[in-house]
Amino acid sequence: MYTVSQRVRNRGAQVLCKRLSSSVKITGFKLNKEDLPTNATIFSMIQPTGKFHLGNYLGAVRVWKDISDLQDDSTRSLFGTADLHAITIPKPNVKDFKTYRTEAIASILSIGIDPEKSTVFHQSSVRQHTELHWMLSTFAPMGYLNRMTQWKSKANINDNSDEAALGAIKLGLFSYPVLQAADVLLYRSTHVPVGDDQSQHLELTRQLGNTFNKFYKTDYFPTPTTILSPTKKILSLLNPSKKMSKSDPNQNSVIYITDEPDVIAKKIKRAVTDSISSSFYYDPEGRPGVSNLINIVSGVQRKSTEQVENDIKHIDNHKDFKDYVTEVLVEELAAPRKKFYDYMRNPEYLNQVSEAGADKARAIAEKNITDIKRIMGFL
């Protein structure tokens, strides 16, 4: 789930932790202890669409593991499935939806999140998310929401759409950025690691928190910092003009963290490149397919694209280049793949983790929603 210009992102990837402003930060390829301030509350969620693909892994959730590994007793982290957000596009197959929720929890744990250190739960298990959503919606300007790009993308809306298409937009899809703001502010979060496609929503979150504080003359909600991964968006293997997506009808365009080595090899072999075989270098405009594969290696190895270019400068044919990419991916995903299937064979444990996490999250949420109600005059 849960944009900055390409030029800025490239520059940010060269440093450990580049602060773009007081509210947006690009991490280095791996967090260090000093990147997590004391008394921080770190929150993030991902929609439960099943097993994680490479874009989910490199663009969003791997930093969750870094945070979980580094946090001390003064730091609190909450990670989970944004299952209420998932139904902004209705899910008629209830059985599949239940499976996707379970697979999402298994995926979170398989990448190395320790549920003893981080709270892992389903959003829908904590009713205070929707309660705060309503309260914040009374502060959310329609004009601001109308400028959000994500709901338009999901609804296939553009500047040429007619009134009938606009009139068919469901309220939940239109207002889900407010629910996302409620998700973050409910826990008085100080840092939110997300993919860059969610940065616009975090700006709204900050605006709503600041508006609430100003209106009630309080400083209750902190201003949360957006944490962006330096890994650039992972693109479709077969069409590098669009991002990698689970909904792609051709699944050869998507690498999952659960893919077997032979499946990874087959998909990379079919990946779009170009006719230049004498050298392989990063050029998103001129060589989008090759650049996508280099970006993948860059993200996996936690290296800059320039470092990857140097590592592969001896390669002079497509087969060896793709074999190299395959080898990197197979090694990286071996452990998450095994852990995922181990967890899926133990659904009772996954249920215990999500229920225990929901209990912890509810305790925090209930205290905070009570404070918010008192500030607003409900209590």
**Beta strand pairing status for 119-122 and 76-81?**
parallel
Q: State the pLDDT at residue 259.
A: 97
Q: What is the pLDDT of residue 14?
A: 34
Query: What is the arithmetic mean of pLDDT over 340-352?
Result: 97
Mean pLDDT of 362-368: 98
- Cβ(291)–Cβ(10) under 8 Å? no
Identify the pLDDT of residue 159.
Answer: 64
Query: Are 107 and 79 within 8 A, CB to CB?
Result: no
pLDDT: which is higher, 97 or 146: 97
- pLDDT of 40 above 50: yes
pLDDT one-digit tens code per residue, 70-81: 888 889 999 999
**pLDDT at residue 362 greater than cutoff 60:** yes
Based on the residue annotation, tell me whether 246 is a catalytic residue of this protein: yes
* Model confidence at 268: pLDDT above 90: yes
Task: Kindly tell me the sign of the dihedral angle through the C-alpha atoms of 93, 98, 99, 101.
Answer: positive
SS3 content of the chain, % helix, strand, coil (to 5): 55, 10, 35
> Once rounded to an integer, what is the mean pLDDT over residues 116-125?
97
Q: Which candidate in 30, 91, 246, 373 is catalytic?
A: 246
Residues 6 or more apart whose CB falls under 8 angstroms from that of 42 comprise 36, 67, 71, 75, 76, 77, 78, 189, 190, 191, 192, 193
Residue among 56, 59, 71, 73 nearest 108 (CA): 56
- What span, in angstroms and rounded, lies between the C-alpha atoms of 24 and 41? 16
What's the CA gap between 298 and 372, in Å, rounded? 43
**Residue 11 pLDDT:** 35
Sheet holding 225-228, edge to edge: 17-19, 24-27, 225-228, 191-194, 41-46, 76-81, 119-122
**224 pLDDT exceeds 70?**
yes
> In 10 A of CB 129, how many CB atoms?
23
In 3-state terms, what secondary structure has residue 144?
helix
The predicted pLDDT at position 162 comes to 63
Residue 233 has pLDDT above 90, yes or no: no
Q: What is the mean pLDDT of residues 243-268?
A: 95
Residue 92 has pLDDT above 80, yes or no: yes
Catalytic-role residue among 154, 214, 313, 319: 154
pLDDT bucket at 21, cuts 50 / 70 / 90: very low
Weakest mean pLDDT among 89-98, 264-273, 345-354: 89-98
Mean of per-residue pLDDT scores for the chain: 88
- In the set 30, 91, 117, 243, the catalytic residue is 243
Q: How far apart are CA 297 and CA 292, in angstroms?
A: 9
CB 227 within 8 Å of CB 63:
yes
pLDDT in tens, 98-113: 999 999 999 999 999 9
Averaged pLDDT for residues 2-11:
36
pTM, entire model? 0.87
Q: Is the pLDDT of residue 9 over 50?
A: no
**pLDDT band for position 10 (50/70/90)?**
very low
Give the range among 166-175, 199-208, 305-314 with minimum mean pLDDT.
Answer: 166-175
